[in-house]
Structures are given as structure tokens and as C-alpha cells.
Chain A
């Protein structure tokens, strides 16, 4: 299988012309990116409405809307360039990992002083980026310490303003794609992309970044070291979403990877199969918040999932990158 993929990589530059690079970019934009940001904007609007309807932290409608919108974000979270990067919008939706506990600290400050900045979503866009987005809202909805602070009416206002802010940010990203960026990327000739190859490189980077983030951060942070596992560093553990986020991100990355590998049916197949192994590991894990990292058996299974993602990363780096013509030099890839 590996050898076949490698041989194909060598002949792919010829195959790639069958489905041109421009077509690949168009497919990725129209089938992968825009639908995801549209779904996110719609879910953001529903979250805002649900919070207006009932802002109680344990309100079922609110929690369901938050979970749906968070799902939509995770499925797009590898696509951090363009409209998502403008004005730090991606960070405004997702400030994680929060290594210094800035999110709870900032929320405690806002609540204890009943800061009037929560009066409107426009004002709220100026608070610390750590107090915005899905992870800050998770604390409001699922953290008992935060829920014991200050006064209920203010906490309600905060939940509503954070939801409205998420609705604004997700709508702005979707608008950015519809009002120019999709065109810019699909007909790259100047602007942010000098040519189709640069647009393709951006998509390839999104795939490699997404894989790296899921393996090294979503799994790596709770794993810590053998002597010092860190289950409480798992992503969104309070709401029980840690494993769910890994699965959703792998599904989204699988979609993008297979789409980019499409000109070579065998490579696309091999890549899809390797993703499926990782997804199978994740589904078999039965450990929604990676609590098992603290015991040897549970840890081994999380590490095994991480290794399966590592196999995906190898195919992406060794086969897909060269096939797309985006693999670059020893130093260019270094990042130091």
C-alpha cells in the first residue's frame, strides 16, 4: 500500500493535470469551506436566539444550541486563514488552550464587578479575547464555580452577550467568504494569493495544521508525560466534549484530505482508509474526556489514537504534499 502510494506520488504530476489545481481549489472552497462556514453562521444565529429564549446555564435548549454551534466550529476550526484570521475572529471564537487560565480569571473579573461591557455585543467585542467564544461560554454553562459567582441576572446577560458575539463573529466570517474571499481564492492572481499554487498551499497548510493541532494539542495536552498526565488539560472536558472534538476534527480533515488527493484515486483511497483507522480508534476509545490518560491501559489507547493520526500525517507529508507540488525546502518548512 505504502509503496503503491509512493510510486503514484512520482507519476502524479502528470495525473494532477487531469483535474487541474484550479479545480481542486474550487472544489475545496465550494464543497468544503463555504458549507462549513455557512453552517457555523446558522448555528451561531440559533445559539443567540436560544440564549435570548432562556439564558439559564442548565437550560436544555441553550446547551443544545451551544453544542451544535461548537460542533460546527470544530468542523471548520482547521480553516483559520482569510476571513477567520481577519481581526482574530478564529481566536474570538476559540481561545484554547488557555495555558494561564486567563479565561476563568477574566470571567470572574467581569462577573464580580458586573462590568457594563456586557451591555451589548458590540462593546463585548473589545473585552479580552479569552472571555469570548465557545470555551468561555462553556465555563458559563458548565463550571459550578463560575455559576456560584455574582448575580444571576448579570450572568444571564453575559451568556446572552457572549452568544450574540459568537453570532456576529460567525456571520462575519461567512460574509467574508461570500463577499470576495471565495472568489479571491478560486481565481488567485494577486491579492493574498499570487497564483493557484499559493491557494493550494494554503489548503495543504490547513490540513497539516489541523492534523498537528488534533494530535499534538487536543491529545498531547491531556497526555502530558507518563509521569505527569494532565487529564484536566483536555479540551472542553467540563462539557464532556474532548473526544467528540477529536472525532469531528478528524472527520472534517478526512473530507479535506480526500478532496485534495482526489486526482489520484488510489492515494485518496489510502488516505481515507488511514483516516478511518484513526476514527475507528477514536470511536473505540470510550473515554469522552480522556480521563484514562492517568492509567497505563487508558493511556496506551489514547497514544495509539495519536499514532494513527501520525500515520495520516506521514501520508499527507510524504505523498500528498509532493503530489500537489507544495512540499517545500528543508528550511522553508522549518518554522524557526
Chain B
């Protein structure tokens, strides 16, 4: 019996009629795989990449890449437009690459076969924000979306067992949901509602800066069960990127929209307690230029790392006392993910750099790594 959340059962019968034929064939194959009657492919069949990242090419094309622990490419698959982040299926060698905001495509890629297996189109009146996450068992894919005429953040739900058919949606708990992550080992989703209203008719123009109210929302079973916001004086700190530790602690990075430098760019939150803002010297804070592009816990989860492509910087903060511990200069650094002994940082220059105990570097000169490194 596959666990299905209430909203999915509620909406499934009305939503799936249009794609039934396709869905049932795919569902049959997926069902075989799930029951073990066919040899199920695993991430090892895709060359066992440790990370995924989208990238831009010098000719203007875009790809999704699998990166091995040796920092070499395991696969490289073309995307129809500029990507942003990706989501790795928890068991199958399957990844979903999301279009950059305000894109409307996401593609499901069989990373073992090196081909696209499904295409997700955002429903009418919605666009993707570039992030998504799978449920614990990999059955459901959740995507952050903009219901732009209503200026409402939405989490779209897609059924991975039925060709990624749209299965439903629910409110994200705010405006401008950006990164979404699932708490390890649980079904609780954490969403960074950046608070910024945009509408595709006015491009990427920010429409509500003086009124924005970002928050961090916790969602279970389609319902916001908890929400955390920063003090009113920090309402222009757009909570955009998050990471979740094994214990469920959330690290978040801000993109500051105010004229003056904000008092902090990084914070930590545990449900039931107020957010802790991380401190850094004025110079260290300024060097980030008010902009965090990605957030990750280090492998041992003692530190949080944040990148600023604008400042060309990676900073780490200690989780225990929420203080700045180190800065590393890397030009156009953005994607960051844990790796053995420390962190892996990807840059728009093509560089992949391990920092921490085992420093290493690989330069992929023909790739501009885009925004996020996703651990598989």
C-alpha cells in the first residue's frame, strides 16, 4: 500500500482523466519496478553521481549534469532552457530539473539511460520558481509555484508513479515560495516564502518590496502547521534558500531588499523556538553584498555554509553559537553541498572546489554551473 496524502486522494479522480492512458502505462511499468518484478535501476546505474547541477554552455544551451565524487561528470543531458535547481529521486536514478523563474517547464530525466522520460508543464496561470522536493518514498514531487494573478504561493503536487501527472496543489503559506526541502526521514516540507510578488507580465520586476513579509513555513499533509518570520524591522530580508539538518534544524539565507545593509544574512530555526540570526563582523557581512545564493550544512552538520556569487564568497557559520567562522573567496560561487570532510562549491566559472579537510578542484571550462548543487 503506497501512502497517499489526503489531498491527493481527494483530487486525483478529477485531475487525472485527461492523461489516463499515458498514466496507466507508465503506472504499470512503475508498478513493476516498485514491486520488484523487474530489476529496478538504482543510482549506481547512472554512474553513481554524488551531486546534480544545472549549467549553462558557451553556445547558449543548458544542461543538467551528474557529478561523481571525483568531481568528474557522470552524465550530461540537454535542457530546453535555463535550469535552476534539481531534485533527485530518493531511490530511482531519476532527477527532475526545474526551469529558472519564471519558467514553466520541468523535465524528468532517467539518469541511467541518459534521456528525458517526462515533461512537466506548469498549469495555466502558474510558473515554477526553480525548486522542488520528493516525498520520503519518492511517490510525490512537490514544486514551488506562483499563482501569479492571485499573488499566492503554491506547492504543486505531481505523481511520480503516474508519469508525473499533476495530482493537486496547496498553499505555500506565503508569497514567492522559492526553495522547498523535506525534513530528512519525515514527510514535513519546509518552504522558504521569499515574500516578493512578481508577475510574468512584468518580467522579474519586484512588485511589493515595501509590503513584503517573508516567512519559513512547515507543511504536513498539505497544511501549514508552523510558520516562522523575522522581526518586522527585517521584513525586507527575503528568505530564499534553506537547508535542513538530520535533526530537522533549518538553516536559511536571506537576500536583502532594503537600501541599507541588513543586520544578518543567515539564520537557524527549530520549530517551537524563535529564529536565531547568525552574527558576523560588519566587514564580513558587507562582503556578501546582501545576497545569499545557496545554503548547505557541512557533512558533520557543525557548520552552515552560504555562498554569495555577488561577493565571490563562501562563508561558514557555526550551528552551536550561530557565529561566522570562516570565509573563502571563490569567484561567482553559488552552488554548495556537503561532501566528505567539508563542502563542495560550484561556480559560474566552471570550477568545482572542495573546501575543508580534503581540498580538491576540477575546472569544467565549458560549463557555467548554475545556482544549486543538489546532493543525490
Contacts and interface: CB of A to CB of B under 8 A. Distances in A.
Nearest to B82: A334
Contacts of A113: none
Q: How large is the interface on B (under 10, 10 to 19, 20 to 34, 35 or more residues)?
A: 35 or more
13 contacts: A91-B209, A129-B210, A216-B205, A217-B202, A217-B203, A220-B202, A329-B309, A331-B293, A331-B370, A332-B312, A332-B332, A332-B348, A334-B309
A53 interface: no
B130 A330 contact: no
A302 to B, nearest CB: 13
Contact of B205 (A82, A129, A212): A212
B361 interface: no
Nearest to B84: A336
Given A332-B309, A334-B371, A217 B151 contact: no
Given A85-B258, A129-B210, A221 B201 contact: yes
A57 B166 CA distance: 52
Contact of A91 (B204, B210, B293, B333): B210
B209 A332 contact: no
Contacts of A336: 84, 100-101, 130, 178, 240, 293, 371
Contacts of B100: 334, 336
B352 interface: no
Nearest to A194: B286
B255 to A, nearest CB: 8
Interface in B326-361: 331-334, 347-349
B347 A331 contact: yes
A60 interface: no
Contacts of A266: none
Contact of A331 (B178, B201, B260, B334): B334
Contact of B207 (A88, A97, A215, A329): A97
Given A82-B259, A331-B348, A99 B207 contact: yes
Contacts, number: 94
Contact of B259 (A81, A99, A130, A328): A81
A181 to B, nearest CB: 11
Nearest to B348: A330
Interface string A71-103: 000000000011001101001000101011010
Interface string A223-234: 111000010010
Interface in B115-148: 130
Given A330-B348, A331-B371, 11 more contacts: A99-B208, A194-B286, A221-B201, A224-B201, A328-B309, A328-B310, A329-B309, A330-B309, A330-B368, A331-B332, A336-B293
Contact of A223 (B178, B201, B240, B309): B201
Interface string B288-319: 00000100000000000000011010000000
A86 B259 contact: yes
Interface residues of A, number: 34
B293 A97 contact: no
A233 B240 CA distance: 29
- Residue among A130, A335, A336 with the most chain B CB within 10 A? A336
Given A129-B210, A336-B178, A330 B205 contact: no
Contacts of A233: 201
A329 B348 contact: yes
Contacts of B259: 81-82, 85-86
B211 interface: yes
B56 interface: yes
Given A95-B210, A99-B207, A217-B203, A329 B331 contact: yes
Interface string A316-336: 000000000000111110111
A213 interface: yes
A223 B368 CA distance: 34
Contacts of B210: 88, 91, 95, 129
A217 B348 contact: no
Nearest to A233: B201
Nearest to A128: B211
B199 interface: yes
Contacts of B94: none
B110 interface: no
Given A81-B259, A85-B259, A330 B370 contact: yes
Contacts of A335: 204
A86 B293 contact: no
B227 to A, nearest CB: 21
B159 interface: no
6 A-B pairs with least C-beta separation = A85-B259, A329-B332, A330-B348, A216-B203, A331-B309, A331-B334
Nearest to A217: B202
A98 to B, nearest CB: 9
Contact of B203 (A97, A129, A194, A212): A212
Interface in B207-232: 207-211
Contacts of A129: 210-211
Contacts of A332: 309-310, 312, 332, 348
Interface in A166-225: 194, 212-213, 215-217, 220-221, 223-225
- Residue among A99, A194, A213 with the most chain B CB within 10 A? A99
A86 B207 contact: no
A99 B199 contact: yes
Contacts of B204: 212, 216, 335
Nearest to A80: B259
Nearest to A213: B205
A194 B349 CA distance: 24
Contacts of B202: 97, 216-217, 220-221
A303 B260 CA distance: 36
Nearest to B148: A99
Interface string B174-212: 000010000000000000000001010111110111110
Given A86-B260, A99-B207, A336-B371, A328 B332 contact: yes
